């Protein structure tokens, strides 16, 4: 009987040590759980790459034509499950605004091949919800016998669902552009131009670096780019249409507004006529937007020693 009691005690001691083995030391106060949760907030800027604005010369692709003065504040919230600090799955909501206007090219207008004279502009609120995977290469190494690095670079990729609503100002009032069909979307004369949806899927990819501030808090600096499947983030993509067509498809008051917002070069050159069929935007490249943010996270799941 005495031997049975001793063996039973030894069994539970060994069992307890086995359970504890699923943790590793975070510091002298906490055990690290292989799976931890994190909630946090993000603050930074949002900017876009569209047909409007840009730099001198002909319009260029990707960041070569980026206008930094268009950057606007953004914020977000997120929740993440992280396994051994190597792979995380996060759900995130990001909110901000993008804008662009051709008048930014005034000082270099001689080189812009008519982009300045086009004189178009837009702004749009953005709400983006993203499901992403975060991968930290340094943590594929086992750190149970060594202290883990406090700084961890990572890559992130995911799929998102976002909403937008491009608007332009006319006589001090903002108008939503999508219902005005400024490029003939839905007109029989342009069967290839369908009305674009204001809620769409996007794909995201980015890089960042994470720093452990304490046992409960961490910070990230992250750049996250959204690849869109639309060229109408700014309501500009194809060619100028015959302005008379607006009255065939829209109420008279809306048609008059659509005419003025579809072609605005005559605001700079009053004698100008609409160049029907000439280039208004560049349909070869879809639009995009991105965020540069500082993220502050609170870790849940560590256990006190």
Query: Which pLDDT tens digit goes with each residue over 191-201?
Result: 999 999 999 99
At residue 13, the pLDDT reads 38
The parent domain of residue 221 ranges over 33-304
At residue 302, the pLDDT reads 66
How many domains does the chain fold into?
Answer: 2
Whether residues 88 and 165 share a domain: the answer is yes
At residue 12, the pLDDT reads 36
Distance in Å from the first CA to the final CA of the chain = 34
Average pLDDT, the chain: 88
Whether residues 211 and 157 share a domain: the answer is yes
| 287 touches 49 (CB < 8 A) | yes
Whether residues 94 and 144 share a domain: the answer is yes
Whether residues 11 and 61 share a domain: the answer is no
The CATH number given to whatever domain includes residue 75 is: 2.40.160.20
User: Measured between alpha carbons, how far is 182 from 246 in angstroms, rounded to an integer?
Assistant: 8
Whether residues 23 and 48 share a domain: the answer is no
Q: How much is the average pLDDT of 216-227?
A: 96
Whether residues 180 and 225 share a domain: the answer is yes
Whether residues 72 and 172 share a domain: the answer is yes
At residue 31, the pLDDT reads 61
Burial class (CB in 10 A: 0-12, 13-18, 19+), 110: exposed
Instruction: Say what percent of the chain tops pLDDT 90.
Output: 71
User: Measured between alpha carbons, how far is 26 from 22 in angstroms, rounded to an integer?
Assistant: 13
Whether residues 67 and 2 share a domain: the answer is no
Residue 1 scores a pLDDT above 60:
no
Query: Which pLDDT tens digit goes with each residue over 85-116?
Result: 899 999 999 999 999 999 999 999 999 889 99
pLDDT band at 42 (very low <50, low <70, confident <90, very high): very high
Whether residues 15 and 105 share a domain: the answer is no
At residue 263, the pLDDT reads 97
H helices then E strands: how many in the chain? 4, 13
Whether residues 18 and 39 share a domain: the answer is no
Residue 48 scores a pLDDT above 90:
yes
Question: Torsion-angle region of residue 69: left (phi > 0), alpha (psi -120 to 50) or beta?
Answer: alpha
pLDDT band at 30 (very low <50, low <70, confident <90, very high): low
pLDDT band at 10 (very low <50, low <70, confident <90, very high): very low
At residue 9, the pLDDT reads 39
Cα angle 227, 131, 216; round to 5: 120
Start-end of H helices in 61-171: 115-118
* CB atoms closer than 10 angstroms to residue 103: 14
Residue 34 scores a pLDDT above 70:
yes
User: Measured between alpha carbons, how far is 223 from 294 in angstroms, rounded to an integer?
Assistant: 9
Whether residues 132 and 70 share a domain: the answer is yes
Whether residues 127 and 96 share a domain: the answer is yes
At residue 304, the pLDDT reads 59
Q: Which residues, other chains included, contact 30 with Cβ-Cβ below 8 Å and sequence gap of 6+?
A: 215, 302, 303, 304, 305
Q: Is the pTM of this model over 0.75?
A: yes
Q: How much is the average pLDDT of 138-149?
A: 79
At residue 45, the pLDDT reads 98
At residue 303, the pLDDT reads 60
């Amino acid at each position: 009987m005495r031997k049975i009691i001793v063996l039973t005690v030894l069994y539970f001691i060994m069992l307890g040590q086995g359970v504890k083995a699923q943790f590793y030391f975070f510091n002298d106060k906490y055990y690290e759980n292989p799976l931890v949760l994190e909630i946090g907030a993000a603050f930074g800027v949002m900017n876009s790459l569209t047909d409007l604005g840009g730099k001198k010369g002909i319009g260029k692709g990707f960041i070569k034509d980026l206008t930094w003065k268009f950057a606007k504040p953004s914020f977000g919230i997120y929740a993440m499950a992280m396994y051994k600090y190597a792979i995380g799955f996060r759900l995130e909501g990001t909110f901000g605004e993008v804008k662009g206007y051709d008048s930014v090219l005034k000082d270099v207008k001689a080189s812009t091949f008519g982009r300045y004279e086009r004189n178009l502009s837009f702004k749009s609120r953005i709400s983006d919800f993203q499901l992403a995977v975060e991968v930290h290469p340094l943590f594929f190494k086992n750190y149970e016998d060594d202290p883990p690095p406090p700084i961890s670079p990572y890559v992130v990729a995911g799929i998102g669902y976002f909403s937008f609503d491009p608007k332009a100002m006319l006589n001090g009032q903002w108008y939503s552009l999508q219902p005005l069909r400024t490029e003939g979307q839905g007109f029989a004369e342009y069967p290839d131009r369908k009305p674009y949806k204001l809620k769409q899927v996007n794909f995201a990819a980015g890089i960042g670096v994470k720093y452990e501030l304490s046992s409960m808090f961490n910070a990230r600096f992250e750049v996250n780019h959204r690849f869109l499947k639309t060229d109408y983030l700014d309501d500009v993509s194809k060619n100028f249409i015959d302005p008379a067509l607006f009255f065939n498809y829209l109420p008279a008051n809306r048609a008059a507004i659509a005419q003025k917002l579809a072609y605005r070069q005559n605001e700079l050159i009053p004698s100008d006529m609409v160049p029907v069929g000439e280039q208004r935007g560049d349909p070869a490249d879809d639009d995009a937007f991105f965020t540069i943010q500082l993220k502050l996270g609170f870790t849940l799941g560590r256990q006190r020693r």
